[in-house]
Amino acid sequence: MSNINELIFVHQVAAPCHLAMLAESIGLKTRVVRHAAELEPSGNPNAFYLIAQKGSALDNQGIPLLASRLVQHVPVALYHVDRSALEPEAALLMGIRGLLYADQRLDLMLTGLRKMVADELWFERPLISKVFRQLVKKLDSRESQTHDSLAALQSLTNRERTIIQLVSSGARNREIADNLCISEHTVKAHISSIFKKTESRNRVELLRWAQNHQQYFSL
């Protein structure tokens, strides 16, 4: 359940903020700020910030720099957005709550406002679907990598784990052989097996692999 009790419009252009007027007409408490320097993000913890793209300093993806600074601390959405001048996927992934485009009907903007105040995202459905599919794909990939890593860990013998610890400490083959009282030839055979099981091509890659699984080793 949302506890938003105020909409703060950052409207840095001379024209009236019609969206704020519309929001106020349906009973939403609003405040229009003309200059970013007037903002006090900690003043009302239950405020929702709407930043006009028009009139704002933008990054290379069309996102207001002010939004980039605020989004980590307060809920932020963008309005008066030019479709040709903003990368919506970047805005969504940054944490922006929604986009209200300059070419949208006022009734659709009002619906978007209500949804965002109710703690819902307001983006076009194809974009939401695209980002969701990418997220699922990434999670599936991570799960696959986790299974592969667990399989590699389970395939390692206790001696091979010990050698990984020694290699990670910087020990060379002769030092490993002396430490374990085995021949250098046997050390090379173990390391060859370790490379194969961890899919490492050399000691540097093995060290990276071991660091990524350091909870299983005393590195």
Parse the chain into domains and list their residue ranges: 6-123, 156-216
Asked if 46 contacts 3 with a C-beta cutoff of 8 angstroms, the reply is yes
Q: What is the pLDDT, as a whole number, of residue 1?
A: 47
pLDDT single digits (tens) 82-138: 999 999 999 998 999 999 999 999 889 999 999 999 999 999 988 888 887 877 776
Q: What are the residue ranges of helices labelled H in the chain? A: 18-25, 65-70, 88-94, 106-117, 125-155, 158-168, 173-180, 184-198, 203-212
Q: What is the mean pLDDT of residues 1-25?
A: 86
Asked if 50 contacts 6 with a C-beta cutoff of 8 angstroms, the reply is no
pLDDT single digits (tens) 151-202: 777 788 889 889 988 988 888 999 999 999 999 999 999 999 999 888 888 8
Is the pLDDT at 217 greater than 80? The verdict is no
> Could you name the CATH architecture of 156-216?
Orthogonal Bundle (1.10)
Q: What is the pLDDT, as a whole number, of residue 134?
A: 77
Note the pTM of the prediction, 2 decimals. Answer: 0.61
Give the separation between CA 6 and CA 118, rounded to whole angstroms. 12
Is the pLDDT at 147 greater than 60? The verdict is no
- The tokens of 55 are what? 């009139």
CATH topology of domain 6-123: Rossmann fold (3.40.50)
User: If you average pLDDT over every residue of the chain, what do you get?
Assistant: 85
Q: Which residue has the tokens 């001048």?
A: 85
pLDDT band at 219 (very low <50, low <70, confident <90, very high): very low
